[in-house]
C-alpha cells in the first residue's frame, strides 16, 4: 500500500514538474464572425431592364445602399437590431419606387392598403398591421403594436385608430397616390382575367433583417400588396411565420413574392425550423425553400435571412430581387442574378 501511495505521489510530482517547465500554453485563435450583419430587400419579381424606366436600376441600388447605411450606422454604434430594421424600412417606405408606404400599389377600388410586420428575436414578440390606408409608415405602427399592445396583428380602421392614439403620423389617403402605380393598375384592369396577371403584378415588398453586436436578431417586412387586389386581401408580409420571423436561437427572415404561397407553406417559420431543429445550414435551408419547395408548389419570390453567427442568405427564384447586405467586413448590392 505504501508502495502504491509513493508511486502516485511520484507521478503527480512528475506531471507538476513537466507543466512548470512547459510554460504558458499557446493562445488558441478562435474564428469569429462579423460584429454585425444587416440585409435589406426591395422585392423580388420580373425586373426586365427593357421595361424599367430609364435609370430605375440605379435608383434601386442607390436606395438600397442608403438603407444599408442607415442600418450599418445604427449597428456599428452599438444600436439594436430592431432599431436598424425599423429605421431602414421607414426610409424605403418613404421612397415611391418601392411597393410599400408612399409607393404602394393600388387595389381594384383605386385605393392603397398597406401591410407590415416586425419581430424581435430575443423575446419572439411581434407586431403587425394590415389593410391600413392612412398610416404613413406602417412598420413603425407594427412595432408599436408589438411594444405597447397585448396583440400581434391589428387591421383596417382599428389599426389606424391605434396608430393615431400612439401619436403616429396619419395622412390623407391621397398621400399614397403616384401616377406610375395608378398607370399600372389601369393596365392590369384592362386585361380580362386575373389569371392573365404577370408575376410582376404579384410581387414587390421591402424588408430588412439584422444581427446586432449583442448577437440579437430582428426582422421586418412592409408592402402595398398586389396590384388590383380585392375584398381586403392581405398577403404574407404582416403574417408572422409567413413573411417575417425572428428567433435568437434560429434565424431572422423577411420574405418577398406571391404571398399566398408563403402563407400556405409558412416559409419564414419553415426556414427557422429547418435551421433550428434539423440543423441544416442557413444557406442550404433557404435555397431548399426558395428553389425547390416554393416553385414545386407554384410560388415565386425570395427572402433575406441571417443567423446569430452572422451567416446570411439572399436566394430568389425570379430573374431579379432588389437586395443588399452590409457587415462590419463586407458590403454588396444587386438587382439581377450575378
Instruction: Classify residue 231 by its DSSP letter.
Output: T
Pair 219, 64: CB distance under 8 Å = no
Pair 202, 71: CB distance under 8 Å = no
Active-site residue among 80, 205, 256, 300? Answer: 205
- For 105, residues 6+ apart whose C-beta sits below 8 A from its C-beta are 99, 112, 181, 184, 185, 204, 224, 225, 226, 227
Pair 189, 109: CB distance under 8 Å = no
Pair 320, 335: CB distance under 8 Å = yes
Task: Take residue 245 and report the three cell numbers written for it.
Answer: 420571423
Pair 61, 333: CB distance under 8 Å = yes
Specify whether 205 is catalytic: yes
Task: Take residue 97 and report the three cell numbers written for it.
Answer: 419606387
Kindly list the catalytic residues: 205
Amino acid at each position: 500500500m505504501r508502495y502504491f501511495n509513493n508511486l502516485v505521489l511520484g507521478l503527480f510530482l512528475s506531471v507538476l514538474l513537466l507543466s512548470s517547465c512547459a510554460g504558458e500554453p499557446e493562445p488558441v485563435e478562435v474564428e469569429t464572425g462579423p460584429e454585425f450583419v444587416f440585409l435589406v430587400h426591395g422585392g423580388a419579381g420580373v425586373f426586365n431592364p427593357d421595361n424599367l424606366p430609364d435609370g430605375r436600376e440605379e435608383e434601386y441600388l442607390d436606395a438600397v445602399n442608403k438603407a444599408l447605411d442607415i442600418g450599418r450606422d445604427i449597428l456599428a454604434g452599438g444600436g439594436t437590431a430592431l432599431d436598424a430594421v425599423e429605421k431602414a424600412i421607414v426610409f424605403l417606405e418613404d421612397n415611391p419606387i418601392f411597393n410599400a408606404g408612399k409607393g404602394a400599389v393600388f387595389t381594384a377600388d383605386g385605393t392603397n392598403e398597406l401591410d407590415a410586420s416586425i419581430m424581435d428575436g430575443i423575446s419572439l414578440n411581434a407586431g403587425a398591421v394590415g389593410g391600413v390606408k392612412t398610416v404613413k409608415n406602417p412598420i413603425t405602427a407594427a412595432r408599436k403594436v408589438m411594444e405597447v399592445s397585448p396583440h400581434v396583428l391589428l387591421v383596417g380602421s382599428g389599426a389606424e385608430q391605434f396608430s393615431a392614439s400612439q401619436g403616429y403620423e396619419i395622412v390623407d389617403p391621397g398621400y399614397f397616390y403616384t401616377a406610375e402605380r395608378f398607370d399600372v393598375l389601369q393596365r392590369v384592369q384592362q386585361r380580362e382575367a386575373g389569371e392573365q396577371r404577370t408575376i410582376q403584378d404579384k410581387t414587390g415588398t421591402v424588408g430588412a433583417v439584422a444581427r446586432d453586436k449583442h448577437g440579437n436578431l430582428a426582422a421586418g417586412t412592409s408592402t402595398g400588396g398586389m396590384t388590383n387586389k380585392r375584398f381586403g386581401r392581405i398577403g404574407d408580409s404582416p403574417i408572422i411565420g409567413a413573411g417575417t420571423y425572428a428567433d435568437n436561437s434560429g434565424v431572422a427572415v423577411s420574405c418577398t413574392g406571391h404571398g399566398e404561397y408563403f402563407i400556405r407553406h409558412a416559409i419564414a417559420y419553415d426556414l427557422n425550423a429547418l435551421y433550428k431543429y434539423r440543423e441544416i445550414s442557413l444557406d442550404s435551408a433557404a435555397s431548399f425553400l426558395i428553389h425547390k419547395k416554393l416553385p414545386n408548389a407554384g410560388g415565386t419570390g425570395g427572402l433575406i435571412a441571417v443567423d446569430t453567427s452572422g451567416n446570411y442568405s439572399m436566394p430568389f427564384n425570379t430573374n431579379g430581387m432588389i437586395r443588399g447586405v452590409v457587415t462590419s467586413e463586407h458590403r454588396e448590392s444587386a438587382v439581377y442574378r450575378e
